[in-house]
Amino acid sequence: MRRDVREVGGAWTRYQRHAYPEPSEALAPWVARYWVVDWDYEEPYRQKIVPYPNVHLSFGGGRADVNGVVSGYQIKILEGSGHVFGVAFRAGCFRPWLGAPVSTISDRVVPATEVFGPDVPTAPDVSEVERFLLAHLPEDDPKAFAAADAVAAIADRPEVTRVETLADLLGTSVRGVQRLFAEYVGIGPKWVIRRYRLHEVTERMAAGGEIDWAAFAADLGYADQGHFIRDFRSMFGEPPTWYAQRY
């Protein structure tokens, strides 16, 4: 199959501009980062978006939406010139804003007015979004911050390849971890573990050099290379050697 040359070798940087402003100190417990994307394509481009366990509030095209955690990769068609501004909430920390289990919006896009009310801005900048979020700041929820810490532990500890390991690390049961993630993260701990272990693969790709796929699969806790490739394909929509060409 012939590839779009704009998706290989980092060519996307000629067509897209990304920025990641930091949230204020008051919002840092809730917001992981802001993100801004601008693009300019003469011909439509199929943009692949690979998920993380974050809920996003996005502003673009004259609308504002809450984007729940997505369980698989997505394809967005980018054409002409465009701009999107977004808020990535810390994994686990959107539950107090939503007022319901985060799993209820997983794999869904909900108009932001359904969550925040009618005063949602539609084309804001960072300062306006900061004012808006501070005006809607919920009360602290210790379980939300515990869920965020659990996701951070997965991200920071490569040895966490099983839910049982995470439960031991957190001093709770497997079922307790599963309930926490369903309520606050919006997707199961097994999925989050798999996502962050596969993130290590893409980091290795970005660094360049040869990869021993069989050995790497074993390091990530996979029984064999075949299981690793199936997981990678389901998450990224293509096998690892094909995805590596993007770098």
The CATH number assigned to the domain holding 178 equals 1.10.10.60
- Are 172 and 203 contained in the same domain? yes
**Predicted pLDDT of residue 186:** 98
Q: What is the pLDDT of residues 73-123, one digit of tens each?
A: 999 999 999 999 999 999 999 999 999 999 999 999 999 999 999 999 988
**Predicted pLDDT of residue 168:** 97
Q: Which residues pair with 87 in a beta bridge?
A: 34, 57
Domain boundary among 84, 105, 135: 135
3-state secondary structure at position 110: strand
Alpha-carbon span 18 to 56, nearest angstrom: 16
- Are 62 and 162 contained in the same domain? no
Domain boundary among 101, 135, 169: 135
- From first CA to last CA, the distance across the chain in angstroms is 18
3-state secondary structure at position 180: helix
- Are 26 and 115 contained in the same domain? yes
The parent domain of residue 108 ranges over 5-135
Q: 238, 242, 225, 220: which is closest to 73 by C-alpha? A: 238
Residues 111 and 63: beta-carbon distance below 8 Å: yes
Alpha-carbon span 146 to 160, nearest angstrom: 17
**Predicted pLDDT of residue 59:** 97
- Are 96 and 149 contained in the same domain? no
**Predicted pLDDT of residue 1:** 60
CA-atom Rg of the chain in angstroms = 19
3-state secondary structure at position 30: coil
Alpha-carbon span 149 to 44, nearest angstrom: 39
3-state secondary structure at position 102: helix
- Are 25 and 59 contained in the same domain? yes
In angstroms, what CA-CA distances link 101 with 92, 93, 203? 10, 11, 32
- Are 31 and 119 contained in the same domain? yes
Which residues of the chain fall short of a pLDDT of 70? 1
The number of domains in the chain is: 2
- Are 148 and 170 contained in the same domain? yes
